[in-house]
Amino acid sequence: MKVPEVSVLMTVFNGERYIHETIDSVLRQTLSDFEFIIIDDGSNDRTREIIQGFRDSRIVYQYQSNAGVAAASNAGLALVKSGYVARIDADDVCLPERLRLQYDFLTQNPDHVFCGSRPEIMDQDGNYIFTPHLPEKDEEIRPVLERENCFVHASAFFRTDAARKIGGYPEAIKFYFNDYVFLYQLSKIGKVYNFQQPLVRYRLVPFSISLKIRDQRYRSILKNIVHKGTAEQSEIDYLTRFQNDHNLNKKDKVFNYYILLAKLYRIEANSWGLSLFYLRKAFLVKPLAISYLASAILQIINPVPIVKFVRKRFY
């Protein structure tokens, strides 16, 4: 059997709302010689039905009981036949030239193990908001990567042997920064790169947004885990207790989502109308959250350069 040039890997859990658009964006790539591995991590909605509705021989579908995103990712890695893996998340979109550009880059740069790209950020309805800056070259990325994740996992494209060399995704680390741990470990064995041309569209949805946690012990443990690639049981226990104590309910997540959009539309897209629109929606969800609303308003009405400076230095 012929080995495909690229293996696209996606995991999904209850992704019925967006998965058709995501799959379609992969199947329309200008580089067509790929296998598309989809690991369904125990979905109980229409996800299976939608996936199986595609009649494309490149799709390799596997269902498993829910085990978490890291375990699902490793199940997918075990099926990979090619020398390169492209990741995509089940609510995001690949732009048409994505696979071709990333495949060409890694084949022409054997000292690199990974390349990602800047994303086009969109809201849950697919409306474009802005394109964030990300460092480009290896020497620019490394100092930033020491303190924060400057890769978009949905744009990740890496060598299969490198991923297997580091043991795949760390399954014991069942937290939102699991992909940061994986990509940081990849950076230890080769150079990394970010395309400045956006190659994916990244969707902000209420229930996938991670708040920036300022608890110093939490951040110290996170950094330690990222650097080691593993976690002690005591570290996992602390992070688990912290997240359980600060777990947000559905209303809080929707409120935070609207606040985030209000800030982004004003600060990044310079749209007063949409900013005020989402600020109003946030108020309607939680009208008594006065301090949070006041903080958002202060950021929205301040001059954009000042807000960006403060966010870059202190957030």
Residue 181 structure tokens: 């741990």
Over residues 247-269, the mean pLDDT reads 86
Quote the strand ranges of the chain, DSSP E: 6-12, 34-41, 59-64, 84-87, 93-94, 112-122, 128-130, 157-159, 191-203
- Between the alpha carbon of residue 112 and those of residues 116, 192, 200, 227, the distances in Å are 11, 6, 20, 20
Over residues 270-294, the mean pLDDT reads 86
Looking at residue 247, its pLDDT comes to: 72
Residue range 171-188, pLDDT digits in tens: 988 777 889 999 999 999
Whole-angstrom Cα distance, residue 283 to residue 228? 42
pTM of the full predicted structure?
0.89
Looking at residue 289, its pLDDT comes to: 80
Whole-angstrom Cα distance, residue 117 to residue 94? 11
CA 212, distance to chain mean position in Å, is 15
Task: Mark 282-304 as b/e (b = at least 16 C-beta within 10 Å).
Answer: bbebbeebeeebeebeebbeeee
Task: Mark 90-106 as b/e (b = at least 16 C-beta within 10 Å).
Answer: bbbbbbeebbbbbbeeb
Q: Are strands 191-203 and 93-94 parallel, antiparallel or unpaired?
A: antiparallel
Q: How confident is the model at residue 313 (pLDDT cuts 50, 70, 90)?
A: very low
Rounded to the nearest integer, the mean pLDDT of the chain is: 89
Residue range 81-139, pLDDT digits in tens: 999 999 999 999 999 999 999 999 999 999 999 999 999 999 999 999 999 999 999 99
Sign of CA dihedral 11, 178, 85, 149: positive
Looking at residue 147, its pLDDT comes to: 87
Nearest Cα neighbor of 240 from 261, 264, 267, 222 is 222
pLDDT at 209 over 70: no
**Of the CATH numbers 2.60.40.1730, 3.40.50.800, 1.20.1440.230, 3.90.550.10, which one belongs to the domain with range 6-208?**
3.90.550.10
Looking at residue 210, its pLDDT comes to: 59
- The full set of domain ranges for the chain reads 6-208, 213-247, 249-315
Task: Mark 152-161 as b/e (b = at least 16 C-beta within 10 Å).
Answer: bbbbbbbbbe
Looking at residue 193, its pLDDT comes to: 98
Query: Between 211 and 153, whose confidence is greater?
Result: 153
